[in-house]
Amino acid sequence: MSKAVIAIHGGAGALSRGRLNPDAEQKYRQALSDVVSQGQKMLAQGASALDAVTEAVRLLEECPLFNAGIGSVYTRAGTHELDACVMDGATRKVGAVAGVSHIRNPVLAARKVLENSPHVLLIADGAEAFAEAQGLKRVDPACFSTPERYQQWQEARAGQQVWLDNDARAPLSEKNKFGTVGAVALDSAGNLAAATSTGGMTNKLPGRVGDSPLPGAGCYASNSSVAVSCTGTGEVFIRTLAAYDVAALVEYRQLSLQQAAQQVIMKKISDLGGSGGLIAVDRKGNVALPFNSEGMYRGVGFLGAVPQIAIYSGEDN
Amino acid sequence: MSKAVIAIHGGAGALSRGRLNPDAEQKYRQALSDVVSQGQKMLAQGASALDAVTEAVRLLEECPLFNAGIGSVYTRAGTHELDACVMDGATRKVGAVAGVSHIRNPVLAARKVLENSPHVLLIADGAEAFAEAQGLKRVDPACFSTPERYQQWQEARAGQQVWLDNDARAPLSEKNKFGTVGAVALDSAGNLAAATSTGGMTNKLPGRVGDSPLPGAGCYASNSSVAVSCTGTGEVFIRTLAAYDVAALVEYRQLSLQQAAQQVIMKKISDLGGSGGLIAVDRKGNVALPFNSEGMYRGVGFLGAVPQIAIYSGEDN
């Protein structure tokens, strides 16, 4: 029996005061479920883990509910700067882009870097020129904007005290949420892969890059250990090399996936004052989804099983 | 007796056919010796490891012999794009900039990110705007240009076959050299720090970022393990998280500094076809300087001792 599995996340954070709004909650659960289902379908048809995570993250980028691609937050300058990374555990090849504003699906640009360049990370204008040369259409940055994100930005600009966050738009507070999306998968050939994509932090300094596009920080995959995608206070995930640290604890200390993932989030990240979570899978099909925030949008899909979707702490998953 | 020590590198690579030119060689050795001496002097006066590595890398940036700051190579577009990172082992705070063209000393901009921002990595225009707001003067990118680098670029553009590299300008072949500079130090208070700075690869794609500015890839420091600065085929150092991997092997596998550093360069980097080296120091004052290329510009200075400078393989150091 195949142990192929896909897990996804749509960011972690504190609970919104409006969390009891069942309509909003249902919308998020359905979106997560749809993406997991698509990943399961691909894996069942023999797709590679690399293809499954790329497509799952592309779908999350397309969904305006999550802060990546369409629905990305605004920088302090009123612009959008997107980052993404994708890593193939079989080859440890990795591609990433950071600070791009004219690529609709940053994860597809990252994939092109992985496949068609000798490089790992391309930034800003150079990344956009490469993506365009690779056939990815240049888009108007306005396509990333949504009225909800614009309002959040206006509130953030006006000062933190204005953040009332009582509109029940989303189960997790958009004020305190680390908006990033990601996917990890194990395919039926036994290969691992991971992908991460983000619109960054609301009202962030232009040019700020978090952990999402950095291999070993917000994204990592190696067949000799694990595949990991992170979401949280990016700077702390960079300082701790959170994604690679899960791999190192598994490979060098022989911890189980669950122990390693827990130790990174509950000890390493927490000790430096960081908040957030990660999703991880190993070659046996074990899945771990620890977070130290009140909730994390997440979903897991084993082949032939119903997608397991969860948002809050304590939910089965 | 204090075990304070500083080690520096000025890039690694293959030997130049002109290596026997004693004047060129002496120029490089003297430059390395001067920087090590300055680091020793600072540490002897009680400076922090963080200050010592920042100043050592600033001096290497100022020296036109090395590919960082003044003397940086040209991109394919004829521009200069510089990257730097500095990390404090005591706090694991880190600052980095990537893709900057108007900051004379990228390591000072990285230090400002570390000290005066909540962020870790700033790129391109955003990094330059931040540096300027922090009082670093905006400079004309022409200040990075040297006639030697311009000629190398012209030769690289004309096609690899034109690279004759028989002019004995430098002991290591500029064609096959990984030009990056770096420093690691242990201070008398027992704190570790690391810094790395680069002008990138000759004729590189604009926007390409290598390992130098990425924490855990080309630069890492933690008082609980080691301080590391790398130089080499940047993409492989990113994929292996080379700098953090030395730390993980020391902390999780209890390898000695020498064993861990050797394993990363001779096994992990070599297995993926990478080339280059690293410098590392631990809290006991052990120093390791492994490389798998034919040479690495390097120097070590223990307090009260003469700087030990070396370029070729097999030299004592």
Span B219-266, pLDDT tens digits: 999 999 999 999 999 999 999 999 999 999 999 999 999 999 999 999
State which residue of chain B sits closest to A249, comparing Cα positions. Answer: B252
Rounded to an integer, the average pLDDT of A59-80 is 92
Over the stretch B10-51, which tens digit does the pLDDT of each residue have? Answer: 999 888 866 667 888 999 999 999 999 999 999 999 999 999
Percentage with pLDDT > 70 across chain B: 94
Query: Which residues of chain B neighbour A245 with C-beta distances below 8 Å?
Result: 244, 248
Whole-number pLDDT of residue A165: 37
On average, the pLDDT of chain B sits at 92
Decide if pLDDT at B161 tops 80: no
Which has more pLDDT, A155 or A4?
Answer: A4
User: DSSP code of B120?
Assistant: S
State the angle between helix axes of B49-62 and B106-116 in degrees (0 to 180), rounded to the nearest 10. Answer: 150
Tokens 């022409």 belong to B142
CA distance A51 to A260: 26
Decide if pLDDT at B1 tops 60: no
Do A237 and A217 contact (CB within 8 A), yes or no? yes
Rounded to an integer, the average pLDDT of A202-210 is 91
Q: Which of A75, A180, A196, A231 is catalytic?
A: A180
Decide if pLDDT at A167 tops 50: no
Ramachandran angles phi, psi of B235, nearest 5°? -60, -40
Q: How far is CA B50 from CA B43, B111, B218, B279, B295, in A?
A: 10, 9, 16, 16, 27
Give the neighbor-by-neighbor strand order of the sheet with B219-221: B219-221, B226-232, B276-282, B287-288
Decide if pLDDT at B168 tops 60: no
- Dihedral over Cα of A124, A127, A130, A131: its sign: negative
Kind of pairing, strands B93-100 and B121-123? parallel
| B226 touches A: beta carbon within 8 Å | no
CA distance A198 to A100: 11
On average, the pLDDT of chain A sits at 92
Rounded to an integer, the average pLDDT of A95-124 is 97
Do B113 and B119 contact (CB within 8 A), yes or no? yes
Decide if pLDDT at B162 tops 60: no
Helix H or strand E segment including B58:
helix B49-62
Whole-number pLDDT of residue B167: 44
Percentage with pLDDT > 90 across chain A: 77
Query: Which residues of chain A neighbour B248 with C-beta distances below 8 Å?
Result: 244-245, 248, 252
CA distance B62 to B40: 18
Decide if pLDDT at A196 tops 90: yes
What is the secondary structure of A161-217 as a DSSP string? GG----S-SSSEEEEEEE--EEEEEE-TTS-EEEEEEE---TTBPTTEE-STTSBTT
What's the pTM value of the predicted model, to 2 decimals?
Answer: 0.95
Which has more pLDDT, A161 or A249?
Answer: A249
ipTM for the predicted complex comes to 0.95
Which three-class secondary structure string do you get for B183-197?
EEEECCCCCEEEEEE
> By C-alpha distance, which of B185, B188, B189 is closest to B221?
B185
For A29, other C-beta atoms within 10 Å of its C-beta total 17
Inter-chain contact A235–B120, Cβ cutoff 8 Å?
yes
Over the stretch A266-275, which tens digit does the pLDDT of each residue have? Answer: 999 999 999 9
Decide if pLDDT at A6 tops 80: yes
State which residue of chain B sits closest to A94, comparing Cα positions. Answer: B239
Whole-number pLDDT of residue A153: 86
State which residue of chain B sits closest to A204, comparing Cα positions. Answer: B119
Whole-number pLDDT of residue A122: 98
Kind of pairing, strands B93-100 and A287-288? unpaired
Tokens 């992985």 belong to A114
